A and B are shown apart, each in its own frame.
Chain A
Amino acid sequence: MIKPLERTGVWYPQVSSNKWKRKFKKNLVFLLMVAPTVIYFFIFSYIPMAGVYMAFTDYSFTGGIFGSKFIGLANYDALIITGDLLRITMNTLLYNLVFIFLSNLTAMFVAILFSELTGKFFKKVTQSLIFLPHFISFVIVGAFIYNTFNYEAGTLNTLLKTLHYEPVDVYSNEYIWPFILVFFNLWKSLGFYTLMYFAAIMGINTEYYEAAKMDGASIFAEIRYITLPLLKPTFIILVLLSLGSIMKGQFDLFYNIVGIAPINILRITDIIDTYVFRMATQGVNYSSAAAVGLYQSLIGFITIIVVNKLVKIRDPERSLF
């Protein structure tokens, strides 16, 4: 049978079985390429999925995952009655919402300012500095927080003492911590987001600005009528994509900044991820921790599906699937 190879437009005489064999051999090569990755995900992502069964058992070391006693939804009873589940969910959601909107708005603001600046050297240096926090691990941030806020020798209290004010015990005042957390999240993520918006601004056709200038528009008008509207799609997409993972908190940030804290502070700063981690490392109540994990994954899954549908409507290119 003579079949055209469409892409090259050349006519090749083909024997069917030969083609099939070649195609299979080719697919085998590709299979080989993806094999390690597939195996990796199977072991470390898919097999643990079976472990969600743990959420419904009273885990015991002797029984293992599948040998422990089945107790249905009982694990959730304790979590709901103590209010733990609600508390950590609220913390996770609220912090994430603030993080997302603050980071995006600030980054957009900074990116616009940045784009209007001149001076290559200045731009390069400040850009490096704004990006620097991204490379610093949160363990170091934890060290910094400690050395700023600790009661005896912290920078803050030293400053207050020199100004003849009473030193503040930040570690027992829970209301300051949300601000500390929000500030440091912004500190760390600003570089990344600013870059995104800056890249988007660079993609705006300069003709728009030139036309505006010719019509005598001030720089404020330019920003208001050209830059902002054209950045809106980027903003919406970035926010939506972040909202998709709203059930996942930034473990590193919360765990290291707060450190080992008394209960009243944990109440305000514990998120799902740190809660589960704490329970897993303190090794007492594995099944409760697994129950919370399942809860997080399930709701996160629904959230991402919904959000992806929304993203698809706005900008199909940017959707995850």
Chain B
Amino acid sequence: MQSKDTRFFRIIAFIIIISIAIICLLPVLLVISGSFTSESSIIKYGYSLIPKEFSINAYKLVFKSAESIGNAYLVTVSVTVIGTLIHLVLAFMTAYALSRKDFQWRNIIAFYILFTLLFSGGLVPWYILCVRYLHLKDTFFALLQFNLVSAWSVFIMRTNIKQISEEIIESALMDGAGEFRILSQLIVPLSAASITTIALLTALTFWNDWSNAMLFINNQKLYPLQYLLYKILNSAEFMHAAIQRGAGISSVVAPRESVKMAVACIATGPIIFLFPFLQRYFVKGLAIGAIKG
């Protein structure tokens, strides 16, 4: 039987947590609702939680100008998939090597990687290096390079690998297995949890990236999704042009605000749909990581 205190506390907790959850959800609902509202209703009544005048005009328009969005989707998906794969492979290999006491230079390399977290040359030298000396402007690689591997991933994975008992590796070595074989057939399956977590975090980083496109991409065919959205939101001319090209209607009557919201929904769509599933792994992985410190 719960004491009165506990019951009171639980009710308050319930109320507070629900309020917070609603606040977290609210912005998302407003954007979704805005995308399904008719433009005239937005101009007259502003945005609201439930569309005052339901309309899918915004989406219709977006799909008419589908070319740029489809392109952006292609770019973002490829960047995310390729980038995440490379990141995982690189980080995991490195983490494994750093976890092995047999590796003579593991401490030096670990410090070498750690140092990049402590000091950096700054945005400008990096930018000049990429543009002027590496000629990365308007290349697909420019969207990948910022996160091909990260010190955090390496260290988190290293901590996780270290938890695997050495005996397993020893006995595999006794049986004559090579290091790469041990890595791929033994360690990877055992580290599935941490790999998944890092994979999700990395994929999210790639998916949501827009600043690299802003720095390096001028070719509209290479715009990733979030950058396209950014441009549409912040440059009226850009949107007018895109709409006119696609739908052939005069910009005076063209929906603007609702289209912005529609594009926002389309840009985040996959994440929102996958989110419930992703969240479970994410939370599990983080919780394990958090407890182990």
Contact = CB atoms under 8 A, between A and B. Distances in A.
Interface in A109-157: 110, 113-114, 116-118, 122, 125-133, 135-144, 146-148, 152-155, 157
Interface string B176-204: 00111001000000000000000000001
A191 to B, nearest CB: 8
B168 interface: no
A117 B109 contact: no
Interface residues of A, number: 108
Q: Per DSSP, are chain B's interface residues mostly helix, strand or loop, or mixed? A: helix
A153 B16 contact: no
Interface residues of B, number: 106
B132 to A, nearest CB: 7
Interface stretch (A24-32, A79-87, A96-104): A24-32
A48 interface: yes
A147 B47 contact: yes
Contacts of A161: 46
A50 B271 CA distance: 39
A214 interface: no
Interface stretch (B61-69, B120-128, B237-245, B247-255): B120-128
B43 A153 contact: yes
Contacts of B127: 280
A179 interface: no
27 contacts: A8-B174, A26-B103, A30-B103, A37-B90, A38-B109, A41-B151, A44-B129, A49-B120, A50-B125, A51-B129, A110-B17, A113-B17, A116-B10, A117-B13, A128-B276, A129-B24, A131-B282, A136-B271, A142-B233, A146-B233, A155-B30, A195-B286, A200-B291, A260-B234, A298-B119, A317-B293, A318-B293
CB-based closest 6 A-B pairs: A51-B125, A293-B122, A158-B46, A48-B121, A137-B208, A199-B290
Interface of A: 7-8, 23, 26-27, 29-31, 33-34, 36-38, 40-41, 43-52, 54, 64-65, 110, 113-114, 116-118, 122, 125-133, 135-144, 146-148, 152-155, 157-159, 161, 187, 190-192, 195-196, 198-200, 202-203, 218-220, 251-252, 255-256, 259-260, 273, 276-277, 279-281, 286, 289-290, 292-294, 296-298, 300-301, 304-305, 317-318, 320-321
